[in-house]
Amino acid sequence: MIKKLKVALLGAGDWGKNYIRVLKKLDVLTALADSDESIRNKYKKKYPEIEVTGDYKALLRRSDIYAVVVATPASTHYEIVKNAIKAGKDVLVEKPIALTVDEALELVELAKIYKRIILVGHLLLYKPAVKKMIECICDRVIGDVYFIEMRRLKLGKIRSQENVLWSFAPHDVAVLLSLVNSPVVNVTATGQSAIQSQIEDNVHIKLDFESKVKAHIHISWLWPKDERKTFIVGTNGMLVYDEHKDKLEIYLKGASKDLTIWDKGIEKLCFEKIDALENEVLHFLECVKSRSTPIADGRAGVEVVKVLVEAEKCIDENEESEIFFIHETAYIDESVSIGRGSKIWHYSHIMAGAKIGQSCKIGQNVFIAPGVKIGSNVKIQNNVSVYEGVTLEKDVFCGPSMVFTNTKIPRSAFPRNTSSEYEKTLVKEGTTIGANATIICGVVIGKYAFIAAGTTITKDVPDHAVIYGNPSKVMGWICRCGKTIVKESGVVLRCNKCHTEITTGNIK
């Protein structure tokens, strides 16, 4: 029955190639999609019997494909999984399920509505040694657990688009939550960006659980030795798991209440030796067949993302307390949050409650109103006013003298000057707004959009859209790297410069 199931792989890069090996072995791989032409050409030659395409949505439209495996970059998981579920497909998605809690919860709710299965690729949960370790804790083999130490350390591969928290920590957080099986009541974290600004290479996470268990996770891709180990200390002994050696041992030693040390030796635990990835895929196929809930289902994925988001928040808050620059002529009200590395120049005024992220550049004579939220690496040029109700996500560029509004019918005689009367405006990450452009309030400007100089925006703007003209229109599409792709609209477009695949969205 499983062999008759047809599965498509979305993303055949560094990790996707491992799924190809397993899916071919299980004889379920029917098609694959990847935005990289060289990868597509490679697999067209190697597997002429399967469909290979650059348009993953074409595979979602195939009625004979019942399930998909998503092995694309983490930043694309939310959109691709959402589209797959709406297309009626069960989904195995690589970790993490999404990059925000809201997006992760939305995917879980969507799967419930469409009666689809989500399995998140927390691979360690499918390793026999980890399963054995979890069983030992459940069976109280080492008594009550005091604390857990986890280490995932090595030199490289250093990423430029995500930090070590999002790259390494999902593995250990997923295992930790299964081991303790108790609500997390507190998360703290510190990190250091040694090689690249704003991208942490070395992170420490501390977790407190309702059960009183405490845990510490140390992750780094800037470390002299490759170490992947878990230490669990309990009242009746200690468990040590060496992931590299695939070895699990009980250290029958500890300290008594009278402060004496006892040691009864080491016991090596035996477990089955199987391919964890194959075990994960088999479990997914069985869940698809039986309509049962996976071990690492969508809700488990949400809990992991919650921890990661809280850890990242702590790191950001700690870094915000470090140095930034404020020109002596600028005026900063109390209760303003300014991120590390940000610079605020001549005669600018930042009002109470505003939040400015890391590495922002605030030019001359800029006004930022109360409650405004500005993400990291935002550049606001001279003579711009960012009024209450406006949110700028990371990497937004605001050209000189461009204008935001926050009420559509301003009247001097009938003032509308309270927060409840202001309309919300959201400018999503990576967007560029040209000089003297006007953004009428109440709109959402999509990710990586480009608003030309002098343009007036009166309605929502799709992701990656190039907007200009009077009246303003979608005149083309642009990649996150700044390369214009094509003028005509398509469902999925590919940048020839950085090979990124973009979905253009609907034009209204």
∠ CA 476-482-488, nearest 5°, is 15
The pLDDT of residue 162 is 83
Residue 220: C-alpha distances to residues 122, 154, 187, 227, 399 (Å): 19, 6, 18, 10, 38
**Per-residue confidence at 227, pLDDT binned at 50, 70, 90?**
very high
Burial, 312: exposed, middle or buried (Cβ in 10 Å; 0-12, 13-18, 19+)? buried
The pLDDT of residue 3 is above 70: no
**Per-residue confidence at 270, pLDDT binned at 50, 70, 90?**
very high
- What pLDDT digit, counting tens, does each position of 303-332 carry? 999 999 999 988 877 765 557 889 999 999
Rg (CA), the chain: 26
Choosing among 3.40.47.10, 1.10.3720.10, 3.40.50.720, 3.30.360.10, the CATH entry for 125-274+307-317 is 3.30.360.10
The pLDDT of residue 485 is 75
**Domain positions in the chain:** 2-120+277-298, 125-274+307-317
The pLDDT of residue 486 is 63
Q: In whole angstroms, what separates CA 479 from the centre of its chain?
A: 19
pTM: 0.67
The pLDDT of residue 505 is 56
Cα–Cα dist 68/83, whole Å: 11
The pLDDT of residue 506 is above 70: no
- What pLDDT digit, counting tens, does each position of 30-45 carry? 999 999 999 999 999 9
Q: Which of 39-48, 193-202, 218-227 has the lowest mean pLDDT?
A: 193-202
**Per-residue confidence at 489, pLDDT binned at 50, 70, 90?**
low
The pLDDT of residue 241 is above 50: yes
- What pLDDT digit, counting tens, does each position of 122-159 carry? 999 999 999 999 999 999 999 999 999 999 999 988 88
Q: Would you state the CATH architecture of domain 2-120+277-298?
A: 3-Layer(aba) Sandwich (3.40)
